[in-house]
Amino acid sequence: SPLVAITGTLLAVTAVPYLAFLGLYAWVGPSGSPAEKSEAKPTVSVVLPTYNESQIVETKLEDLLALDYPMEKVELIVVDSSTDDTREIIREYFADLEAPDLTLIEEDERRGLAPALNEAYEAAEREMVVKTDCDSKLPQNVLREAAANLSDPKVDAVTGRNVEVLGGSGVESGYRGVQSHIQQLESHLDSTLIFHGPFSAFENDALLPIDPNSLADDTELALKIRRQGGRVIFDPAVQYKEASHSAFVKRRKQKDRRAMGLIRLLVQHRDALGEYGKYGKLVLPFNWWFMIVSPWLLTLTLVVGTVAAIASLGTAGAALPVAVGLFTFLGQRDALGPAQALYSLFDTQVSLLRASVELLRGKG
């Protein structure tokens, strides 16, 4: 029937860019960092934004002090907007410490993460600027690995891989695995789009102010740095562990918010499409496809496919939506075994769709 033919066409149109990307992956065979890495020990400003983190901030400071790096080369810049006693805990922790140096920026009222970060980046004086979150955990070699990437004169920023989702949701970790391959390919082609808040490192000279309303501050900064000329890359050897909300509603909210920030950023920077070498010709178009076009096409395919199945098979056609429902039910419970990563991708597409709808409704 024509409906089946339309479903087939929609499915093919949805799949072609993914298959093209897979083909490109096989052809390029990306592995590791594309940077010419060499050992380097620049001075480092670690930027840590905090908002009501009194429960975990001490663990984070211990984690930072345990890094395998000469601490006399490090300064910690905390920008704190808390209403709890986070800043007192930090001050006390640093009272008898000789290194690293501490700069504590105290905000009287919470203006949002992006303005807080702008202030911290402005205060950063060392050569390499690292941004990290309070609830992420860093391995000891992370500053050295980041510095090795930035020693390549063409590279102005590097982000890393989430090796384990603390507080564990398989849905998140499944997707992170797929994302790591995508980001390696993007970096080998030119530069990657998404920068990760739990750990990103930038050349101080390359820093730029971010939009105070940004919901994707790390990615925005990287995108602007790429537009300025420097490469911004992903290295799987730069690693971190990020806390994730295992509670379904919280995780959904966090993921939808991120999706909204990324879509908004792509739209704001649409004039970069086709520019900046392979970044604008391949990386950005693929992300437009994945984040903006594909969620709608996939939804349309499912709707038309369901109508087509019911029209041609009668009630047996209802097996399609039931199968999708079952896939979702099992996927959310991390019960799909080898198909879990596929569900994670589907789950991400759902978040992107919800975020697009919210943006179209004028929210965010």
Give the interface segment with ligand GDD, choosing from 19-27, 38-46, 50-58, 265-273 (CB under 6 A).
50-58
Residue 245 dihedral angles phi and psi, to the nearest 5°:
-80, 120
Residue 100 dihedral angles phi and psi, to the nearest 5°:
-75, 170
Residue partners of 280: CB distance under 8 A and separation at least 6? 272, 273, 274
- Minimum Å distance from CB 360 to ligand GDD? 21
Rg value, the chain, Cα:
22
**Per rule CB under 6 A, is residue 285 in the interface with ligand GDD?**
no
Q: Which residue is nearest to ligand GDD (CB)?
A: 197
Q: Based on CB atoms, which residue is closest to ligand GDD, 110 or 354?
A: 110
Hey, what are 44's tokens? Answer: 């480092």
**Per rule CB under 6 A, is residue 81 in the interface with ligand GDD?**
yes
**Per rule CB under 6 A, is residue 212 in the interface with ligand GDD?**
no
Q: Looking at beta carbons, which pairs linking 172-177 to residues 24 or more positions away fall under 8 Å?
A: 172/244, 172/251, 172/344, 173/344, 174/340, 174/341, 174/343, 174/344, 174/345, 175/341, 175/344, 175/345, 175/347, 175/348, 177/341
- Minimum Å distance from CB 53 to ligand GDD? 5
Peptide bond into 212 cis (omega under 30): no
Q: Based on CB atoms, which residue is closest to ligand GDD, 75 or 218?
A: 218
Q: Based on CB atoms, which residue is closest to ligand GDD, 190 or 217?
A: 217
**Per rule CB under 6 A, is residue 233 in the interface with ligand GDD?**
no
Write each residue from 241 to 270 as x if it is in contact with ligand GDD (CB under 6 A), else as -, in one continuous string.
-------------x---x--x---------
- Minimum Å distance from CB 113 to ligand GDD? 4
Distance of CA 193 to the CA centre of its chain: 9
Instruction: Identify whether the C-beta of residue 198 lies closer than 8 Å to the C-beta of residue 162.
Output: yes
Residue 288 dihedral angles phi and psi, to the nearest 5°:
-60, -45
Q: Based on CB atoms, which residue is closest to ligand GDD, 230 or 261?
A: 261
- Minimum Å distance from CB 286 to ligand GDD? 20
**Per rule CB under 6 A, is residue 364 in the interface with ligand GDD?**
no
Hey, what are 163's tokens? Answer: 């090796």
Helix (H, G, I), strand (E, B) or coil at 129: strand
Residue partners of 149: CB distance under 8 A and separation at least 6? 33, 35, 37, 155, 158, 201, 233, 235, 238
**Per rule CB under 6 A, is residue 217 in the interface with ligand GDD?**
yes
Q: Residues in contact with ligand GDD, total (CB under 6 A)?
A: 23
- Minimum Å distance from CB 105 to ligand GDD? 8
Helix (H, G, I), strand (E, B) or coil at 236: strand
Instruction: Identify whether the C-beta of residue 197 lies closer than 8 Å to the C-beta of residue 217.
Output: yes
Residue 289 CA neighbour count, 13 Å, CB half: 16
**Per rule CB under 6 A, is residue 80 in the interface with ligand GDD?**
yes
**Per rule CB under 6 A, is residue 197 in the interface with ligand GDD?**
yes
Of 21, 53, 188, 232, which one interacts with ligand GDD (CB under 6 A)? 53
- Minimum Å distance from CB 14 to ligand GDD? 27
- Minimum Å distance from CB 143 to ligand GDD? 18
**Per rule CB under 6 A, is residue 110 in the interface with ligand GDD?**
yes
Give the interface segment with ligand GDD, choosing from 11-19, 109-117, 283-291, 301-309 (CB under 6 A).
109-117
**Per rule CB under 6 A, is residue 54 in the interface with ligand GDD?**
no
Distance CA 219, CA 201 (A): 12
Distance CA 334, CA 317 (A): 27
Q: What residue has token string 């995780």?
A: 251
**Per rule CB under 6 A, is residue 160 in the interface with ligand GDD?**
no
Of 33, 50, 239, 344, which one interacts with ligand GDD (CB under 6 A)? 50
Residue partners of 155: CB distance under 8 A and separation at least 6? 35, 149, 230, 231, 232, 233
| Contact residues: ligand GDD, CB under 6 A | 49-51, 53, 79-81, 110, 112-113, 116, 133-135, 197-198, 215-218, 254, 258, 261
